[in-house]
A and B are shown apart, each in its own frame.
Chain A
Amino acid sequence: MDNRQIQNTDPQIPAHPPALVQLEAVSKRFREGGTERVVLDRVTARINPGEIVALVGRSGSGKSTLLNLICGIEAPDAGRILVEGRRLDTLNERSRTLYRRRGVGFIYQFFNLIPTLTVAENVALPLELNGVPARERRRRVAARLAAVGLADRADAFPDRLSGGEQQRVAVARALAHEPPLLLADEPTGNLDAETGAQVMALLQRLVRHQGRTLVLVTHSPEVAVMADHVWELVDGRLQARGEA
């Protein structure tokens, strides 16, 4: 099955509604020593608003690279990336940073909270960068922390929290500025099964409730099953694995 088949045969992708993210023949190569490795090979796909897409594949298959391309911290070697109809691959570094600031929330495997900021400050960071006034910022931080069940830990520093709690802060931070697109790189990879399930349930609930779009990379079938679409990266090509 090639990439075009995904686009053409997927019944969940309507023919006309505007896609939130559209990848058109995107390729990415990395040079390792003297050899060049093709990580993504002419990948074409579209993600519609409100969808949850799970990316699966073996380690090193290019899943994280695909996320990096979608959030604009890497540029493709070939092909086009469109987000809300705007070409991402032609934006300069500053514009891509601003796009990431306003339009993307990121959740990492290793949480990547800022250790020297408190829980509330970590959640407030994207709001502050987006110029949200202080009063509104406080209101939203309180609301997000309440939503992830950590209202009582607002003044704690990240190293005082458990892994699950840290990831819930990361979820709150990713959603704080209400970005249309959420990217999660193995969000449960560093958590035990039970905590991972709790975090995923929370993430799914908030994403669905707020109508956000989520692209997540995972190795876990339990996580993948929550997605609307499951795409697998094999030899740099994207293959549809099925739907939830």
Chain B
Amino acid sequence: MTGLPARALVRDHRRHPWNLVFAVLGVALGVAIVVAVEIANSSASRAFELSMETITGRTTHQLIGGPGGLDEGLYTRLRREGFRDSAPVVEGHVRIQGETFTLLGLEPFAERPFRDHAVGGRDGRINRLITEPGTVMLAAPTAARLGLAEDETFFLTVGTTPHAVTLVGIVSTDEPGLGGYVLADIATAQDLFRRHGRLDRIDLILTDERQMARLREMLPPGVRLEAAEARTRATAELSRAFHVNLLAMSLLALLVGAFLIYNTLTFAVLRRRHLLGNLRMQGMTRASVFGLIIAEAALLGLVGSLLGLAAGVVIGQGLVQLVTRTVTDLYFVVTVTQLALGPAVILKGLLLGLGVTLIAALGPAWEAAGVSPREALRRSGLEHRVRRVLPWLVPAGGLLMLAGFMLVDWPGQGLLPGFFALFLLILGYACLIPPLVWLMARLLSGPLGLGFGVPGRLAARGIGAGISRSGLAATALAIAVSATVGVGIMVDSFRSSVGLWLGQTLQSDLYVSAPGRSGLGVNPVLPDDLPARVASLPSVAELSTARRVPLYTPRGPLELMAIDPSVQTPDGYVYLEGASPARIWQRLAAEEVILISEPLAWRKGIGVGDSLALPTDRGERTFEVVGVVQDYSAAQGMVTLHRTLYDRYWDDPGVAALRLSLAPGVSLESGLSQLRALAVTLDEPVLITAAGEIHAQSMAIFDRTFAVTHVLRLLTVGVAFIGILSALMALQLERAREHAVLRATGMTPWQLGGMVTLQSLLLGLAAGLAAIPLGILMSDVLIQVINQRSFGWSMIRTLPPAVPGEGLLLALTASLLAGAYPGYRMARVRPAEHLREA
């Protein structure tokens, strides 16, 4: 790159700072979103890894039981048999000041070979932990964050029950992995989780095969020996789909950003065609011009990426809270104490911003290099050429879209074909927009002339006459708006599908459950005699019982639901595969068969007639799948089976929930009051909930889960808004000379301002309308390909009128703003200045 041509281009930017600002902003916003998501994702993953590293310590293997855990007698037996490097663990989720933590019940004397810091502090503190019930320890940063001091008594909540505990020790550690844990003696943990005599797992350090073989021989049925690392990996793998999905959203924003960058750079080239032609005339080669534009883009990409990185860190800090909450809601508890802002994130952000900018710059650079000096000095030549190309854009766009549609149906579970299909569809559709805009401008010229006089006619004609610019602006605008429409429709469709599914699932009138969801350390059960007592209430027509427990399989965790059905139960499912509901439930009652959820069927690639192996308390057993049902409650997959089958293979007699239908003529209030009267006679608290309440709570969880997607959509709207503003403002400012001629010819400032605004609005309207079908198409791909392949959830696509309406409003508002500024500017400046500039 030579000095003077570069200087000419740089000074040109100085004369048109808006274009430069918008170009840099476009890159920066695109990079910021991807970096923010990357930071949030990797912070959550890193926090999980760190906590696992800290808590797993030097553990090589773990003994795992079924839903009921392990008998603590097993631990005593192990020690007696010479397995000295073993440590029992009881763990569960607790909440302190609204924040979720994992409470880890450990045996301090057995801990030394396993973990250095998990039970630290001075000996006196450890003694108190062992000897005083209800005592816990926290990592120093956690205690400081929660404002807790040593010897302070505070409340932690297990399920819905608050317990007073005393902080007897603060572990001075800089290990961030300990931040999400509360440490307690094993007896305290058993007390809090009401798991007396039970353990969740036994950690082991096993180094030789003979030892392992000997251990396997002495294990009771249902107890499995697993490698600690594999188990951690399988758990981490669970949230992969969610992280990939988030990444997809951020890449969509970047794709929008890329189109905007392409648009901005193309504008910059088109605007400087004369300058570039002049340089070519002076003897600058095509390669030099190409290099000049690419170097300019690289500089712009670098500055934009650096700004994007800074903004990404700020946005990432906010996003990480939302991601952590969603991961905790859906998969496992994770506490992020520090942002993962390693060199990899920075490098990725820089490379992505720079790479996308350079790819986006290839087209404009090619255009710039291809500029013939003769044509460059004549604007009409360009418009003539573009008009000749317009009819060819229609079949080209059609072909690209066809290829995209074919790729949508590409078999397999990979996301890459889905992303590529989305890209082809967007690109193909983008080709159709300029011809449509040109046609619209031609058709509207007459009516606008009648309505607004000369300015109206000129506004429409100007779009057609400058189609090289207006077509491009409308395309960039339409793509930006369509992304917001697409994501909006996807979220609404998901919400509606979940709503419909809940409507179908919540067939019963009232639900009685033990507080807290069965899971890590929490094993809520209802009093043994409660089902019979509830069934005998006169207001209750019939009831079914449910027991939902997590099941740790060697290939990752899933959920197990044991149902003792009522007559209504078969209607409480949406069957995607299998015989009639009645027949399925007949078989479930009589045979060793199971129902599986859609995500599980998708992930394992199995369906009706296939078999699934599950670890049971009698060892591994294989069950035939008789049906696939819709389920949005367990991302990791759910297996539903009959209670009799559960009792046959699992030693877990408890019931966690009752679903009951009220007798005809009994009102909800009367049913509720009878149940409440019964509940007060119980020793344990129970939750009594109406179906409507569960529906509302579930939707609230859904909304919380999708809060991060909403934020990403808002950020995409931000990118779109900047892009629209940039494209249209560049278009209007570039026409300064044309406008100056009109002013010189006698057009008043008001007329000119009106014309510019009307033209912008027309383009905004065209782009906004064109964006709606593309948005719907985009949502279809997001729903049927990206989401389906990420989570295995299918959903019904809805078309909420508000979403396209918002898109149209966005396009019109941005175009109005974009038109207003140049209109105002043109009305104020002296036309002679612009006439002279050219």
Contacts and interface: CB of A to CB of B under 8 A. Distances in A.
A71 to B, nearest CB: 8
Contacts of B49: none
B375 to A, nearest CB: 9
Tell me what chain B mostly uses at the interface: helix, strand, loop, or mixed.
Answer: helix
A74 B283 contact: no
Contacts of A112: 278, 281, 377
Interface string A73-104: 11000000000000000000110011011101
A136 B798 CA distance: 72
Contact of B279 (A106, A114, A121): A114
B829 to A, nearest CB: 15
A98 B285 contact: yes
B837 A94 contact: no
Interface in A159-175: 159, 173
Contacts of B373: 73
B416 interface: no
Interface string B1-12: 011110111111
A93 B374 CA distance: 14
A178 to B, nearest CB: 14
B282 A126 contact: yes
B2 A121 contact: no
Contact of B283 (A97, A124, A159): A97
Interface string B809-838: 000000000000000000000000000110
B275 interface: yes
Contact of B285 (A97, A125, A130): A97
B286 A97 contact: yes
B836 A159 contact: yes
Nearest to A116: B11
Contacts of A108: 377
A151 interface: no
A129 interface: yes
A136 to B, nearest CB: 15
Contacts of A128: 2-4
Contacts of A154: none
A102 B377 contact: no
Contacts of A115: 12, 275, 837
Interface extent on B, as a size class?
A: 20 to 34
B496 interface: no
Given A94-B287, A159-B837, A117 B281 contact: no
B372 interface: yes
A73 B282 contact: no
Nearest to B5: A125
A117 B286 contact: no
B385 interface: no
A72 B287 CA distance: 17
Given A68-B374, A115-B837, A116-B15, A100 B283 contact: yes
Interface string B345-377: 000000000000000000000000000111001
A150 to B, nearest CB: 18
A110 B740 CA distance: 19
B676 to A, nearest CB: 81
Interface in A110-150: 112, 114-117, 121, 124-126, 128-130
Nearest to B283: A101
A73 B285 contact: no
Interface in A177-206: none
B281 A73 contact: yes
Nearest to B377: A112
A170 B146 CA distance: 75
Contacts of A159: 836-837
Given A116-B11, A116-B15, A117-B7, A74 B278 contact: no
Contacts of B3: 128
A130 B3 CA distance: 12
Nearest to B10: A116
B464 to A, nearest CB: 18
Nearest to B2: A128
A186 B8 CA distance: 26
A121 B286 contact: no
A189 to B, nearest CB: 14
Given A114-B8, A117-B4, A73 B284 contact: no
B548 interface: no
With most chain B CB atoms within 10 A of its CB, the pick from A73, A98, A104 is A73
B243 interface: no
B288 to A, nearest CB: 8
B201 interface: no
B275 A130 contact: no
B280 interface: yes
Contacts of B11: 116-117
Contact of B372 (A73, A94, A104, A106): A73
Contact of B284 (A97, A104, A121, A124): A97
A69 B11 CA distance: 32
B588 to A, nearest CB: 76
Contacts of A124: 4
B283 A102 contact: yes
Contact of A129 (B282, B287, B837): B282
Nearest to B372: A73
Nearest to A134: B3
Contacts of B836: 159
B4 A94 contact: no
B8 A116 contact: yes
A128 B3 CA distance: 8
26 contacts: A73-B281, A97-B284, A97-B285, A97-B286, A100-B283, A101-B282, A104-B283, A108-B377, A114-B275, A114-B278, A114-B279, A115-B12, A115-B275, A116-B7, A116-B8, A116-B11, A117-B7, A117-B8, A121-B4, A124-B4, A125-B5, A125-B279, A126-B282, A126-B283, A129-B282, A159-B836
Interface of A: 68, 73-74, 93-94, 97-98, 100-102, 104, 106, 108, 112, 114-117, 121, 124-126, 128-130, 159, 173
Interface of B: 2-5, 7-12, 14-15, 275, 278-287, 372-374, 377, 836-837
Given A101-B284, A124-B4, 11 more contacts: A100-B283, A102-B283, A116-B15, A116-B275, A117-B7, A117-B11, A125-B4, A129-B2, A129-B282, A130-B283, A159-B836
**Ranked 5 nearest A-B pairs via Cβ:** A101-B283, A116-B11, A116-B8, A97-B285, A116-B12
